[in-house]
A and B are shown apart, each in its own frame.
Chain A
């Protein structure tokens, strides 16, 4: 159905365009007047009246066809008395039988009947789809052609349509975001109806276990998210301890000391670092850094676990270096050159100029860069999943296992779970908190950067 409907629509596009064009040309010829818009706008007008209804028909078929057929099948299904049915399973079986031409042995008569009904309904639907799409395209084009005359301003109308299309596209992005936020909020409400919000925010015990069978002796789970946030925070601190100095010093080197040539090579190279998939960092952390941290811990007499906050934090720090260096480099570069000259002109050397004039001037922007990097670090998942462990320890010792918000979301959603128990729903609550934190960090960072920009422009 897909291929032929594309062919049909393409034919429709072509012929409606030609149709519209010839129509306006004929009008111009017969009246000998100058039309308000150029020929191709009239043609485009007819084309859009052909194409848009066709697309609406196409998508409504794609969305509703299966649903309607299923309802018809279930309505007319000859249920056998006393047998238990599950609608989903039944439909799946009917569909399987229908798609498989040689009916397998042992299928009941009702199923086979339903399957042949399904096939005939499918066929009817397909035929009516083609018919209706052709009719709608012809009707649309005819309507548009009737509206065309010498006075008709097709260009303005097309402009309007284009505006609507653009609004439609951008509203898809915005609505999706809003939808995600609302689903986060509603699912979180469901979670908080089962687990108290105070327990979630202030209790220090995180055992997200629930009894699998009814009456199972397993302990009730407890959902205190404090250790998770503490773990996230600990890893973020470790990461920033690595990334802040290295990133900032790199930025200073690139913007103040490096020659243009070096800068042009090194900056893109650093930005490649930002393009490495985080899972690659993850196994780098697990295979190389974590064992090193463990043996280092042992050599100074600290018992380190095989996966640790330190290992994950170090690698995450490396990952966010390019964010900090690249953003700070931009910020330092946008400090006006005349401040540098002013300072050097007094006889300050380069280091004094950077320390006392450039960095103070760039400070708000640099803080903004740090905040963006932090929000990136908090939201990072793969490195911590692989290298930090999953045990919710409340500890400040970076050699121990900790876990983060993102890891716990992964853990909560892995496996065959229904979304009706606090274990899976906790993912939404954690996600909501994470979202609020990163959103406020981003907003804050952007504000700081913007304020700083305004000061020099």
Chain B
């Protein structure tokens, strides 16, 4: 059994610049294995930017420059030598807006395993797809229509499809960028339950605007403000007795 307090991700002095504008300033934190860590803070505080550093998604933005050090399983990832493809197969990502591919439900989930060659036979692939859909709590709803387009599902189902798609490649970490902001309260509740289950097997980092959500699903909470990490700690502590007055002001709704 792995020690509960094993560090999975260790960030040290991470700076991010968009052209001249500094978006993150000397962020250092460690994220524990098999816990849910919530990143909270007002809009534009850099929490999504930090999330996207972890799987190098910021590479897609031409003007974005990242410096500092992020170690995943003790391996440096902010380096030109990093194998981004294998890094991303180890770190799944779920986006703000559900983004199923314009393919069938089955092909959406099978996409990752087939490009990484995880399945040797067709039945292997089917197994992976079905297991992933079950883990994402979607299988019972879609088992009779796996060949219908993924875009035909409801918003909440689409988001769970995207989670199934992410876990189909056996990631160790799942990044969630405001996964519920486009969903209604019922779909949100289902996803939150799902996050709680997934915690047993995955390290989850979730960016959220909803403080209730952070309080409900996370064990650790990090509060960002204006590109700086203001406070980090156990969720219970942050929400009941924060050290910093800014954190206090934000969680009590005085700004943000």
Contacts and interface: CB of A to CB of B under 8 A. Distances in A.
Interface stretch (A53-61, A302-310, A333-341, A384-392): A333-341
Contacts of A260: 62
Contact of A361 (B60, B86, B87, B102): B102
B89 A347 contact: yes
Contact of A341 (B89, B95, B103, B116): B95
17 contacts: A338-B97, A339-B99, A340-B60, A342-B101, A342-B162, A342-B165, A345-B95, A346-B89, A346-B165, A346-B169, A347-B87, A347-B90, A349-B85, A352-B115, A357-B111, A360-B103, A455-B151
Contacts of A340: 60
Contact of B92 (A336, A345, A357): A345
Contact of B166 (A259, A346, A349, A356): A346
A277 B86 CA distance: 51
A346 B115 contact: yes
A352 B112 CA distance: 10
Given A260-B62, A341-B95, A361-B102, A346 B112 contact: yes
A345 B163 CA distance: 12
Contacts of B86: 347
A336 B99 contact: yes
Contacts of A346: 88-89, 92, 111-112, 115, 165-166, 169
B55 A345 contact: yes
B87 to A, nearest CB: 8
Interface in B74-116: 85-90, 92-93, 95, 97, 99-103, 111-112, 115-116
Q: Which range contains the number of A residues in contact with the other chain?
A: 20 to 34
Given A346-B92, A347-B89, A360-B102, A341 B115 contact: no
Contact of B95 (A259, A342, A348): A342
B190 interface: no
B153 to A, nearest CB: 15
Contacts of B151: 455
A343 interface: yes
Given A260-B62, A345-B93, A347-B116, 11 more contacts: A259-B62, A339-B102, A340-B60, A342-B100, A345-B55, A346-B92, A346-B165, A347-B86, A347-B169, A360-B103, A361-B102
A344 interface: yes
A336 B62 CA distance: 17
Nearest to A362: B102
B119 to A, nearest CB: 14
B95 to A, nearest CB: 6
Contacts of A360: 101-103
B57 interface: yes
A345 B90 CA distance: 10
Given A356-B115, A361-B101, A345 B57 contact: yes
B95 A356 contact: no
Contacts of B102: 339, 360-361, 455
Contacts of A341: 57, 60, 93, 95, 99
A204 to B, nearest CB: 45
Contacts of B166: 345-346
Contacts of A347: 85-90, 112, 115-116, 169
B20 to A, nearest CB: 17
Nearest to A342: B99
Contacts of A349: 85
A235 to B, nearest CB: 35
A313 B184 CA distance: 56
Contacts of B55: 345
Contacts of A361: 101-102
A426 B41 CA distance: 75
B88 A344 contact: yes
